[in-house]
Structure 1
């Protein structure tokens, strides 16, 4: 069945087009931020090139399509990659319950993330995994090696900075003898949430303070400088209650896949949430979780919207989806085979990425034109690419070639 998607009335690309020049003069930003904004602005326009579908018999043009920017922060890109990623994870699911756990750092660390984003986000991943691994190794809870899939999100609903990682964890693990072991807790959460919060806080702060004292971090304005001020800041962070949130276990592996689809390849804000763009402001929908997720409308100045959006542009090459333990790339083939053997299930038939891609294209685009609208010839549609920089009607050279 073909999926019908309504094109949104407003897009992030239009915000960049309208306010990007003003924003560039008001803010000093890293080059990667500008590269991302311009990529979003030019996505699916003639600036990036594209291809022409034409009839091989009468040479009439059927359709002109423009290339996507393929930037991972673009709200219009990543749909196909998301589906491919989900299908690959579906082949790795085990017939056991799965737990969703979220690790969040306090807002006092947000300013440090602005100046040391790669370090702070990488440490967030490491601290979360070390916390899970510590509890999984304890025989009181599991006594085996765990696995986890983690996804980094840096935003809140209002586009403010809110770094946290979503962890999808199977309920169980493998012993050193490759035997699948179920958790000691018969129902509910894998590990105690309050205890995880304390361990997570201790691990994160220990490595953070080591880097700070070792002069390996960029110091934000107004940060503590003297030893006494640093110690006071550290004590305040230890006295805080760090948030570790655990949702009820998923009921079926299929539910896990559907849930992952909402979190992987997600960007700070979707085009569907933008309700209006004026000459000065941008309005968008958001959920106010302080009022049980009530839907509200927020209005921001156009340049402020872009400033908040840029807070969530990740460092070049930073991996925001990671796999650990028995689900890591180095171990999952052997570990999943051992787990399935212990659980008494067969391994699913694996497919290549090319096969999955062809299947998805056939599923979502079964009605691609194959017959010419002008002369009615069947299976006569051909494609011709044109280079970036063409006009809205495509480069004249290409049109001339088609007319020969």
Structure 2
């Protein structure tokens, strides 16, 4: 993909003196400064040389911030993660289930994000596991990969969980049991919504004393959205979904269309009206404030694996399960390109010099200039 014309980092850089005003805590501030400095001299860098004897080209690169909220640092991580998940796919239908929190909980998400988002993961797995264990619906132990997103297209707070659920599970005899209608149907969405609301509110009651007397009663008046899409058409579609959602951040650089007049203009999709595209313009201050809403608490895990897709089962029974259900023939992927020489497209880059904020040593600067 071609590099973006405008970047989130440019907005942060031109507002670097006032970033404190838009952050709720020091962790958010540290994150914004890391994104601002990404791939600039402020983080130091390295010089690589192509190992192709017919090329030997030198390449100077500034270090990335490696922050999971950075628009420029997700591509390579995403590809590595997807390739690891491809090896774990089962030859069964997969469902896409979405659990969404009502907007009445947004204020609580701002003050207690770790608690609320943690309960969202916990409750979603309780629902999937509970319905799967019920013989009326499946009667088997399921699996789930859950990915937390906290944003809407306009960068407003919209916490929801994207879940990938295999269409079946392992029964008490250790054998695979497929979901109903040969894997074409998972669970009744209306029933899931009601149980989701009841369990989440019950768990929240144990943790937080509400400010108003009718806070929890008001939550029961809302319709809690659980959405279950039709099963994926095949393993390749599951992988495509993983690529779109796993390492996604609040806004990509490619969505930004203009940075004039101390404002950010970016594209927006309205999913309520068939994905209709429009343009939204926000002042820098409001853009940064909204962006900071989606910086997760330190060390909070936003991609989690459960049941037969958890790390334990991958180590103990995944290979056996894949053998029983049959092998998946996925197309062979080319090697990752992040270390391929951009000049000759054949050799691999090898780091030969590391340098700090002061820049590369003088001798190497001369070598780079000669090469140009």
The corresponding residue for 2:356 is 388
* 1:64 shift after superposition: 1.5
The corresponding residue for 2:203 is 207
Provide the C-alpha distance between the structure 1 equivalents of 2:350 and 2:177, rounded to a whole number of angstroms.
56
* 1:87 shift after superposition: 0.8
* 1:19 shift after superposition: 2.0
TM-score by length of 2: 0.90
Aligned residues: 364
The corresponding residue for 2:34 is 39
Provide the C-alpha distance between the structure 2 equivalents of 1:249 and 1:348, rounded to a whole number of angstroms.
19
Equivalent of residue 303 in structure 1, options 259, 264, 285: 285
CA RMSD of aligned residues (A): 2.8
The corresponding residue for 1:116 is 112
Residues 222-278 of structure 1: CA deviation (Å, up to 9, x unaligned): x42xxxx1xx22122112110001111101111101111000111100000000012
Q: Does 1:196 align with 2:192?
A: yes
Q: Does 1:325 align with 2:307?
A: yes
* 1:292 shift after superposition: 2.0
Q: Does 1:176 align with 2:172?
A: yes
The corresponding residue for 1:399 is 365
* Mapping for residues 2-401 of structure 1, pairs under 5 Å: 5-24=1-20, 26-27=21-22, 29-53=24-48, 62-186=58-182, 188-213=184-209, 223-224=211-212, 229=213, 232-343=214-325, 345-346=326-327, 359-361=335-337, 366-369=340-343, 383-391=351-359, 394-396=360-362, 398-399=364-365
SS where residue 59 of structure 2 aligns?
A: strand
* 1:46 shift after superposition: 1.4
SS where residue 286 of structure 1 aligns?
A: strand
* Structure 1 residues 50 and 237: alpha-carbon distance in aligned structure 2, compared to 1, 3 A threshold: same
SS where residue 166 of structure 1 aligns?
A: strand
Provide the C-alpha distance between the structure 1 equivalents of 2:183 and 2:348, rounded to a whole number of angstroms.
60
Provide the C-alpha distance between the structure 1 equivalents of 2:199 and 2:219, rounded to a whole number of angstroms.
12
Instruction: Say which is worse superposed, 33-42 or 125-134, in terms of deviation.
Output: 33-42
Provide the C-alpha distance between the structure 2 equivalents of 1:380 and 1:94, rounded to a whole number of angstroms.
34
Provide the C-alpha distance between the structure 2 equivalents of 1:110 and 1:270, rounded to a whole number of angstroms.
23
* 1:61 shift after superposition: 7.7
Provide the C-alpha distance between the structure 1 equivalents of 2:73 and 2:268, rounded to a whole number of angstroms.
21
Provide the C-alpha distance between the structure 2 equivalents of 1:244 and 1:95, rounded to a whole number of angstroms.
25
Provide the C-alpha distance between the structure 1 equivalents of 2:50 and 2:273, rounded to a whole number of angstroms.
57
Q: Which is higher, the Rg of structure 1 or of structure 2?
A: 1
Partners of 2:47 and 2:58 within 8 A in 1 = yes
SS where residue 206 of structure 1 aligns?
A: helix
Partners of 1:140 and 1:184 within 8 A in 2 = no
SS where residue 139 of structure 1 aligns?
A: coil
SS where residue 129 of structure 1 aligns?
A: helix
Partners of 1:91 and 1:348 within 8 A in 2 = no
Instruction: Say which is worse superposed, 169-178 or 185-194, in terms of deviation.
Output: 185-194
TM-score by length of 1: 0.83
Instruction: Say which is worse superposed, 302-311 or 274-283, in terms of deviation.
Output: 274-283
SS where residue 359 of structure 1 aligns?
A: coil
Residues 183-217 of structure 1: CA deviation (Å, up to 9, x unaligned): 2344643000000001111110001011114xxxx
- The runs of 5 or more residues in structure 2 that have no matched partner are none
Partners of 1:52 and 1:61 within 8 A in 2 = no
SS where residue 65 of structure 2 aligns?
A: coil
